[in-house]
Amino acid sequence: MDLGLTGRAALVCGGSRGIGRAIADGLAAEGVDVAIVARGREELEDAAHEIEKSHGVRALALPGDLTRPEDPARVVAIAYERFHRLDVLVTNTGGPPAGSFASHAHETWERAVQQNLYSVLHLVRAALPLMRERRWGRIINITSMVVKQPAAELILSNSIRAAVTGFARTLADEVARDGITVNNVMPGYTRTERLTHLAERVAQRKGIPRERALEAWNDEIPLGRLAEPMEIAALAVFLASVSASYITAQSIAADGGWIRSLL
């Protein structure tokens, strides 16, 4: 299937590793120039070099801290200056710390809101005018399956990802007539550095090996295994495509069947 993405440009947050890197690779494989954002300069520049070498597109490394109010607008502006267009925005920030309500101080909540909600608002505010110029755009937020089925010890993610979902659903109506779609991808348990950290926390709390914690998650998933980052990326890349032009205001899970709700 020709996804109609050749020659377009994307900004992918968290693009140096994990799901973000897989999305950047997936878009680049379809002929999209990609700007990738993350905090670590060296790893980010290595990723951009590898993307260019593998896919023959332009890849721009943009070191930045999206919890700082000025950085989202800065990286959007640099990406637009380089590519002279911005068609796809993928908001993807690391998950907030695990823990119970009682274990999180007010400052932890503030940082999580900055990282996982305000960063999305600032990125979208900067990118929307550029998409409206062309009357075409794709905004894709990487949230989590906990939006539909909250998970224990993830109260920050359960709460803040839900706020992003409400924002995206409302925004989708506001920008639909501008040819812009807004969707959320809800990954399930995926083989990333974040999941390794969560497994270590579970293992420590229960006094079991980390491998057993990972196996327990496999048992919860009908498909019986963790996702690989490229399996999440495939959904995001499709939502960015011309073929997905009639899909908007949706939150779509890639979770191996973990969510038990009907809708």
Q: For residue 213, give every residue at least 6 positions away whose Cβ sits within 8 Å of its Cβ, in sequence order, or none.
A: 199, 200, 202, 203, 206
pLDDT per position as a tens digit, 189-218: 999 988 888 888 888 888 888 888 888 889
Q: What is the CATH number of the domain that holds 75?
A: 3.40.50.720
Amino acid at 61: A
Residue 130: half-sphere exposure toward Cβ, Cα within 13 Å: 25
Residue 59 · residue 36 · CB < 8 Å: yes
Which pTM was predicted? 0.96
Which tokens go with 237? Answer: 């890349």
CA–CA separation, 35 vs 198, rounded Å?
29
Q: Are residues 127 and 184 in the same domain?
A: yes
Does residue 245 surpass a pLDDT of 90? yes
CA–CA separation, 82 vs 225, rounded Å?
40
Q: How many folded domains does the chain comprise?
A: 2
Q: Which of 128, 130, 109, 129 is nearest to 118 (CA)?
A: 109
Averaged pLDDT of the chain: 96
User: Which residue segment(s) compose the domain that 114 sits in?
Assistant: 9-188+230-253
Residue 36 · residue 15 · CB < 8 Å: yes
pLDDT per position as a tens digit, 75-125: 999 999 999 999 999 999 988 999 999 999 999 999 999 999 999 999 999
**Mean pLDDT within 144-165:** 95
Q: Are residues 96 and 151 in the same domain?
A: yes
CA–CA separation, 108 vs 120, rounded Å?
18
Instruction: Sheet with 250-254: list strands edge to edge.
Output: 59-63, 33-38, 9-13, 88-91, 137-142, 180-187, 250-254
Question: Residue 139: its pLDDT value, please?
Answer: 99
Q: Are residues 182 and 208 in the same domain?
A: no
* 259, part of any domain: no
* 2, part of any domain: no
* 80, part of any domain: yes
More confident residue, 44 or 210: 44
